[in-house]
Structure 1
């Protein structure tokens, strides 16, 4: 049977219901991404392929998708999709831009509060017979400084929530133009990235993974941070040089880190960050609150249907902008 829409990774039920009620044939297998041959066979005649962040949408796969009209990305990151390959074949990509922004922003604030008030550690200690009020008192976040590296939709939402809790918010984003008034309205003080790293008590990363941002946080960047500061990464693992971070944490050059993303997911058993008590790791769930998953699924389902019915989605990825970024990075490195 010819399949119209193939979904290779986990998708929220609201979006699945919309697709199943559309009249198109839908194949949903959240583990399909892990078997390249089965994926090629299932999607060979599909009009649409929907993925999350594990399916490798590359030239080899696209060559097998003879009737493909649209790639739907359940999220915003694009590092698993070869946009050069999709562009050369004229295959548009739609992403769920901003659909999980609230979820990620709330995760960042949860991380800040967890780092400041060690409630779970205190609870574990009490259950083991302890009652150490001095050890688990923690610190207030009011008056502390949150530094944002990247001030897109998620950065702005994080800044608004942080200010409501009494944090000072500073940030840096080279993509902002003089016409961008949102940081001023939000109350984010714009500074060079080096100053954000120097001044912040919490540094939160909100940048895409591009050649220009890979290893953005390396030994030199970590050395600019206070030894009492914390790093929070909900963007992409490759933005942080994990070896440099492990060294900084092991030698207490910074106080700690909360990482929701890693360069290789899941990490191998010997990954150095797994064994550091001042590093909190979560399995890429910052944008995966239940509401965000359904919001993302509904958006992508609706836009995929729009595209295969002959329309043009406003959520199409601006491939030219992405490819221009790659070109600028290559020129800088030459």
Structure 2
């Protein structure tokens, strides 16, 4: 009997992905009863389906049969892509599977920041006197970055809340931004006009610290800022200063430079700042889509 190719999955993924793989592969899990570590399967593993775990060059070199690392998610910062390329190992992601979930989370954080939800929760019975929220409807949304998630946010904002949408992305032609229903503008103009700033750029050298104190103070007074992209794009010390000065009405962060954000970090003491622990993509629907798509990438590579 021919031995099936072995797929190693270090952390739990949606059951539908396992059912997709099992008729065609042997699945070894790094969790639960009978858990196997990478070292225990390295000589046989042909594919790895991972979420946020690291697959480095040393691991790849210990796995002579490894053909694909399928990432359940978007980024590749946990995979040694250079070594994979040297060894002919495919590396895939699921870039569209969680777009809607992250976009909805960005809107949720915008609503929380605009309506003072964090302040209301902390003040409980005294909340009516503690907050004066503002509606999203009719305000201006500024999007820095205009990829898949930002386009979803733009659509929700424009159609669901009648927001004016501005977008800045040097990598996207202005005509494409306009065709998607947003007004293409430079970063300085966007900052000067946006009541709501939402960040949607990857963390690379050009975007590290992109939004600092000068940029935050360039926003209209009473604006809010949301980051669901990557920690490090927004200078959190600058955000704290802008909030404490009263220039910003609030902020919503799903990503931070250090994750999780330490309990003693001063941003946690600011009631107007709502912080979630990188959960933008954590919906049942997105988790299923990401897992199944990653499984399909493995099956296609092994076919």
Q: Quick one: distance in 1 between partners of 2:18 and 2:299? A: 12
**Partner in structure 2 of residue 213 of structure 1:** 207
Deviation at 1:60, TM superposition (A): 2.4
Aligned with 2:11 (options 9, 12, 31)? 9
TM-score w.r.t. length of structure 1:
0.81
User: 2:25 matched to which residue of 1?
Assistant: 24
Task: Give 3-state SS (helix, strand or coil) of 1:245's partner.
Answer: helix
Per the alignment, residue 324 of structure 1 pairs with none
TM-score by length of 2: 0.88
Deviation track 1:125-184 (CA, whole Å, cap 9, x = no partner) reads: 56x4x4x64544522211101111111111111101100111110010111136x53x22
Query: Is contact 2:116-2:272 (8 Å) kept?
Result: no
The offset of 1:13, in angstroms, is 2.2
**CA pair 166-2 structure 1, distance change in 2 beyond 3 A:** same
Work out the CA distance in 2 between the residues paired with 1:3 and 1:241: 46
1:155 aligns with 2:156: no
**Secondary structure at the residue paired with 2:166?**
strand
Deviations, residues 247-300 of structure 1 (Å, cap 9, x unaligned): 333333322211111222223333332222221111111111111111111111
Which secondary structure does the structure 1 equivalent of 2:293 belong to?
Answer: helix
Distance 1:43 1:274 in 2: 42
1:50 is matched with 49
Structure 1 residues 289 and 30: alpha-carbon distance in aligned structure 2, compared to 1, 3 A threshold: farther
1:76 to 74, 77, 84: 74
Q: Work out whether 1:93 is the aligned partner of 2:80.
A: no
Of 281, 284, 289 in structure 1, the residue corresponding to residue 275 of structure 2 is 281
**Superposition deviation, residue 46 in structure 1:** 0.9
Query: Closer, same or farther in 2 for the Cα pair 1:233/1:15, shift >3 Å?
Result: same
Q: Secondary structure at 2:222's aligned position in 1?
A: coil
* Matching of residues 285-296 of structure 1 within 5 Å: 285-296=279-290
Q: Is 1:229 the equivalent of 2:223?
A: yes
- The 1-side partners of 2:215 and 2:171 are apart by 19
Give the aligned CA root-mean-square deviation in angstroms.
Answer: 2.5
* CA distance in structure 2 between the aligned counterparts of 1:246 and 1:143, rounded to whole angstroms: 27
Q: Which residue of 2 aligns with 1:34?
A: none
**Which stretches in structure 1 are left out of the alignment for 5+ residues?**
32-36, 310-334
Residue of structure 2 in register with 1:202 after alignment? 196
- Matched residue SS, 2:45: coil
